[in-house]
Chain A
């Protein structure tokens, strides 16, 4: 069976409507996957952990999507769209895993569109806006380097679903990190102007980096059970990669203090920056104004 164009294939048959990938009503990405909890793993803890990793991907993906039609070149537009799509795919699997693990049966849409800001568990680095392309690149280098190190270790998680999502994600994040790192070198080692912008981008992202390595209780409990990764253990790998990239760019990691938690709470506790409310207002606007709508 072959077709000359994708449109012929899409419109083949009597009911081609299901072939158009838009709207709602997407199939559960874990359809047919065994989501039984491994012995000794607490379902509520696993769900909380999957929401952390899933929310990181969902929120970062949304920020990347906001770059579409604003990127400096068509190739960068395509790259950012691909990275956003990979992260959205990871988010869908992880949010679905959370709903299966906690026994609530909540779907990816319930989690993405039905929670309030305080219920999102993403790190604050994922949600902040970018002043310019260099700002995005600084944030993407930090985010993808950190997430790649985490997922690489999660390939051996005792939860087989989490391990499978991680194994797939590692190959995607390898591309994301290379892309962002190559741009960091190009901008840092480019003109005086591009260097100035890259330095400013790093200075904006750096205060949000210490939070990435602060474990919360659930992570430590699950790390002890062989399910999760204590994020403090990936700091050395992160620093090593950043040192290589910065060396190529002829830049230094900025010596700035971390953004302080609020009353000891940060993204993992549901305490976000001002940017998060605006982001969710956009992400959830259709679902909130027309609950249950399909199109």
Chain B
């Protein structure tokens, strides 16, 4: 329950940031592109589970939709989250390196 609240706060924060100047918008677009890449890199089942969870579906619904046992949803989600974060961080790192190279 607290997580949901936290997420709502996060979303609110995101919306607040939307009104920021154009530079931030460009940065946000780059972030979005990286997020897209990271999500696309996931296995289909992991991706679907993650997106369903993000949409607010509970474990039983996800299990039903993906024809998984309810017990394995946690495993699927944990794997998906880890991989998503890892690939996103990898993308972020390579981008930072590119920018550093471009700057120097």
Q: Do A and B bind each other?
A: no
Interface residues of A (CB under 8 A from B): none
Interface residues of B (CB under 8 A from A): none
